[in-house]
């Protein structure tokens, strides 16, 4: 059995973690010390992220301001990104914002913003 990092649970919800080639269906648990995901089928599949290891959370938002089910958690090493989905993503994002700060929960770039940044040339300035 997996030991939780949290001493108390603030919120639990069903959701999906997109890891590897498959999807893991399970439960999110947000508490006082960490963001956790536990797989329903296999107890040994779990994700535990302490709040201080989360660098950024990006949420998909429509033009009308509606929050999508999908969100991405970027870790401190800036190379690891984990994608999640939940019907309660709005509530989950509010609780994450309370834990890590408002400036770290941002809107994910849209398709055309990503495409534009891929083709934009950025000049490097000389520092004397």
Span 56-66, average pLDDT: 81
What is the number of other CB atoms lying within 10 angstroms of the CB of residue 60? 17
SS3 content of the chain, % helix, strand, coil (to 5): 20, 45, 35
Q: Is the pLDDT of residue 105 over 60?
A: yes
Q: Is the pLDDT of residue 62 over 70?
A: yes
Would you place residue 31 in the very low, low, confident or very high pLDDT band (cuts 50, 70, 90)? very high
In eight-state DSSP terms, residue 32 is S
Q: What is the pLDDT of residue 116?
A: 62
Domain, as residue range, for 48: 9-119
Q: Is the pLDDT of residue 26 over 90?
A: yes
Mean residue pLDDT across the chain: 84
Q: What is the pLDDT of residue 2?
A: 74
Considering its fold, how many domains does the chain have in total? 1
Span 8-33, average pLDDT: 91
**Rounded Cα gap, residues 116 and 113, in angstroms:** 5
Establish if 70 belongs to a structural domain: yes
Q: Is the pLDDT of residue 42 over 80?
A: yes
Establish if 2 belongs to a structural domain: no
- CATH number of the domain at 60, please: 2.30.29.30
Establish if 63 belongs to a structural domain: yes
* Pairing state between β 67-75 and 105-107: unpaired
């Amino acid at each position: 059995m997996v030991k939780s990092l949290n001493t108390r649970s603030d919120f639990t919800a069903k959701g999906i973690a997109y890891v590897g080639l498959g999807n893991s269906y399970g439960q999110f648990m947000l508490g006082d010390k960490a963001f956790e995901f536990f797989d329903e089928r296999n107890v040994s599949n779990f994700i535990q992220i302490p709040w201080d290891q989360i660098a950024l959370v990006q949420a998909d938002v429509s033009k009308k301001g509606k929050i999508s089910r999908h969100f991405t958690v970027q870790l401190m090493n800036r190379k690891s990104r984990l994608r999640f989905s939940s019907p309660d993503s709005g509530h989950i994002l509010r609780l994450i914002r309370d834990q890590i700060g408002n400036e770290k929960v941002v809107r994910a770039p849209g398709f055309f913003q990503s495409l534009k940044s891929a083709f934009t040339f950025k000049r490097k300035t000389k520092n004397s």
